[in-house]
């Protein structure tokens, strides 16, 4: 095995390990480790909410930026995301740049951000923080704003629609009153 190949394998292993441990560290701090959402589920969710080019789309916990890129490139929405993990924020910014996307990503905690401009919000966060997310959405989103929640529902709100993704995960759709 050549030195270059060995170096590449070590680099990939290092990136994987850093991503895993970074995800675990931020999961403990934020309640949301990195777990990718399938692209097909993202597209289906955006179609189900009828996301349009004139709308503002927010991704809370943007991870690698995949959801932002799809919202902006395929649906024409003004896409904005928040990601607390510096590691994932860097990966997402590279992805956004690579895809020539105009999506905006901020390395910030979503709880310190104002969501009132959002027409559609997407989040895939874990149960321990879902009540806090629900309270924030109720306090800040305008009536008629749509919310897509992957895997773990908002605790007290009733979804307008529920779909199953890959046979086991659920996507919950809400409309703010």
169-175 and 56-60 beta bridge pairing: unpaired
Q: Which CATH architecture has domain 3-175?
A: 3-Layer(aba) Sandwich (3.40)
Q: Where are the domains of the chain?
A: 3-175
- Interval 161-173: pLDDT, tens: 999 887 788 999 9
Angle between helices 39-48 and 66-73 (to 10 degrees): 50
| Cα–Cα distance, 161 to 148 (Å, whole number) | 10
| Cα–Cα distance, 88 to 107 (Å, whole number) | 9
- Interval 20-77: pLDDT, tens: 555 545 545 555 556 677 888 899 999 999 999 999 999 999 999 999 999 999 999 9
The per-residue DSSP string of 126-141 comes to -GGGHHHHHHHHHHHS
Q: What is the pTM of this model?
A: 0.81
Q: Are 42 and 66 in contact (CB under 8 A)?
A: yes
Q: Are 92 and 119 in contact (CB under 8 A)?
A: no
- Interval 83-106: pLDDT, tens: 999 999 999 999 999 999 999 999
């Amino acid at each position: 095995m050549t030195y270059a190949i060995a170096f590449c394998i070590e680099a990939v292993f290092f990136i994987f390990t850093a991503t895993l441990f970074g995800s675990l560290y931020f999961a403990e701090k934020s309640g949301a480790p990195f777990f990718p959402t399938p692209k097909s589920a993202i597209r289906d969710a955006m179609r189900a909410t009828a996301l349009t080019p004139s709308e503002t789309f927010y991704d809370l916990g943007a991870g690698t930026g995949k959801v932002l890129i799809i919202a902006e490139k395929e649906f024409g929405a003004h896409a904005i995301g928040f990601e607390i993990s510096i590691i994932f924020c860097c990966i997402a910014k590279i992805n956004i740049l690579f895809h020539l996307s105009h999506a905006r990503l901020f390395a910030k905690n979503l709880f310190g951000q104002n969501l009132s401009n959002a027409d559609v919000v997407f989040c895939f966060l874990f149960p321990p923080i879902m009540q806090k997310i629900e309270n924030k959405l109720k306090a800040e989103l305008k009536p008629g704003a749509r919310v897509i929640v992957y895997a773990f529902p908002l605790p007290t709100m009733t979804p307008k629609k529920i779909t199953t993704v890959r046979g086991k995960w659920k996507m919950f759709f809400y409309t703010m009153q």
